[in-house]
Amino acid sequence: MTKLIYAAIISAFINNLVLTRTFGTNSLIRDSRDYGSAIRLGVSILIITSLSSVITWPIGRYLLEKFNLSALETIVFLLIEAAVVWLLLALVRKISEKKYQQLSPLLTLTIANSAVLGIILNNVSVGYSFVRSTVFSIFGAIGFGITLILMAGIRERIRYNDVPQPFEGVPILLVTAALMAIAFYGFTGLI
Amino acid sequence: MSEKKDNIFRRLYYGVLKENPTVVLCLGLCPTLAVTTSAKNGLAMGIFTSVVLILSNLFISLLRKLIPQTERILGFVVIIGTFTTLSQLFLQAYFPDINEALGIFIPLTAVNTVIYDRAEKYAVSHNAALSIFDGIGMGIGYTLIITILGAIREILAMGTVFGYRLIPAGYSISIAALAPGGFIILACIIAIANKINGGRRL
């Protein structure tokens, strides 16, 4: 149990996906405009990653590896991700048509998000057990969401600051991410 | 932009300079930041991504009438995923050391935003020849920046470029090889490009 708690803290803070492994940097920059979009993306990535990781682990271990088809991992996992997104969208549509219209473009783009595929591929290639890989996916996605929300907050402050003209837009966000990453290295002392 | 005005030279110019995927469109940052700890890795990743980009641009352009508008992302996923897998197998067979060095970021090419952006904004609405040259232009632009970034990080972190020593061992800034160094150096490159362009982009 303590091992799992350690694994959770490590995957959410110490090995933070965006800041130490740069998975999903694009969504960090594109979707952190305000708290609303950051939370929406964080929650959808959490749901999609945990569901797809639960499905992909047995398929990767017992189907692809057994029949020596590991080369097909990437495309099989991408299709599973797409299926999960499609199911979620069908569910949202049942609940409300308006929400569906709102979430459809965001969720479709999540299929091609490097954070989701990165977590799933990493789980299989490192060879974690089922429980460990599920914990890693859930807390990895939570860490990603936290980073997104923090970024949205910092962005709100940047809006009122005088940024040097060439650094306006993406460069200042990258510098912010760098400083956040250095701050996150402080968590290494936690365990 | 109408198809008549567009030609292959314009595509190359746009890909390398005017709409450079990394510094102007700011796409594909995940592999750009992750693998550029050395110039060699950057160059290898750039070439790998370019090959997948050109092939998928060609096929998406050829199949553009068959891919339904509403499910086009799914079509892109299948096509790009297939070419990534094929190229990865080629790499594993002929350049196993590069495959080892780039690791998980090789399969992650299947979700590279540069490739999706070009598929969505260009290949899906233009003919095959133009799409190939769009892929070549974007590929050269991407490879150029990713190699420069790799070279700068390698000089700062290890004092070498492509393995040739420029700065004596012992004088190094180790953070340049870590993620924060990558973020800051890429930010500086984009800022310099913005300054040269004269205006604010994005």
Mean pLDDT of B120-139: 91
CA distance linking residue A172 with residue B47, whole number of Å: 28
Hey, what are B194's tokens?
A: 């913005």
**Backbone phi, psi, residue A75, to 5°:** -75, -35
The residue count for chain B: 202
Structure confidence by residue, pLDDT tens digits, A133-185: 999 999 999 999 999 999 999 999 999 989 998 898 899 999 999 999 999 98
Candidates A74, A93, A144: best to mutate against B (most CBs of B within 10 A) is: A74
Nearest CA in chain A to B120: A109
Residue B199, pLDDT score: 57
Is B70 within 8 Å of B171 (Cβ atoms)? no
pLDDT digits (tens, 9 = 90+) for B138-186: 999 999 999 999 999 999 998 888 888 888 888 888 889 899 999 999 9
Residue environment code for A27-62, b if the CB has 16+ CB neighbours within 10 A, otherwise e:
bbbbbbeeeebbebbbebbbbbbbbbbebbbeebee
Identify any residues that bridge with B180 across adjacent strands, giving them in sequence order.
none
Ranges of each domain in chain A:
2-190
- Averaged pLDDT for residues A65-70: 85
* pLDDT range class, residue B14, cuts 50, 70, 90: confident
pLDDT at B5 over 70: no
Determine the Cα–Cα distance for residues A16 and A127; give it in Å rounded to an integer.
19
Helix (H) or strand (E) holding A155: helix A130-158
Chain A residues close to B74, C-beta within 8 Å: 82, 111
Q: Which of A123-127, B86-90, B170-174 has the highest mean pLDDT?
A: B86-90
Q: pLDDT of B22-32, one tens digit each?
A: 888 888 888 89
Most confident of A106-115, B37-46, B158-167: B37-46
Give the N- to C-terminal CA distance of chain B in Å, as an integer. Answer: 19
Q: Which residues of chain B does A125 touch, with a Cβ-Cβ cutoff of 8 Å? A: 104
What does pTM read for this prediction?
A: 0.91
ipTM (interface pTM) = 0.89
| Beta bridge partners of residue B160, listed in sequence order | B165
- A117: nearest CA partner in chain B: B108
Rounded Cα distance, A170 and A23, in Å? 17
- What average pLDDT is seen over chain B? 89
Question: Across the interface, do A112 and B77 touch by the CB < 8 Å criterion?
Answer: yes
Predicted confidence (pLDDT) at residue B2 exceeds the cutoff of 60: no
CB < 8 Å to A78, chain B: 77, 81, 110-111
Taking CB atoms and an 8 Å cutoff, what residues of chain A touch B107? 73-74, 117, 121
The answer to whether B179 contacts chain A (CB < 8 Å) is: yes
| Amino acid of residue B13 | Y
**A60 CA: distance to closest CA in chain B (Å):** 15
Q: Could you tell me which of A113, A133, A98 has the C-alpha nearest to residue A48?
A: A113
How many angstroms separate the CA atoms of B81 and A117, rounded? 12
Q: Which of A168, A169, A182 sits opposite B180 (nearest CB)?
A: A182
A183 shares contact with chain B (CB less than 8 Å): no
- Least-confidence region, from A64-68, A170-174, B62-66, B74-78: A64-68
CB A90 within 8 A of CB A103: no
Q: Which of A79, A125, A169 sits opposite B202 (nearest CB)?
A: A169
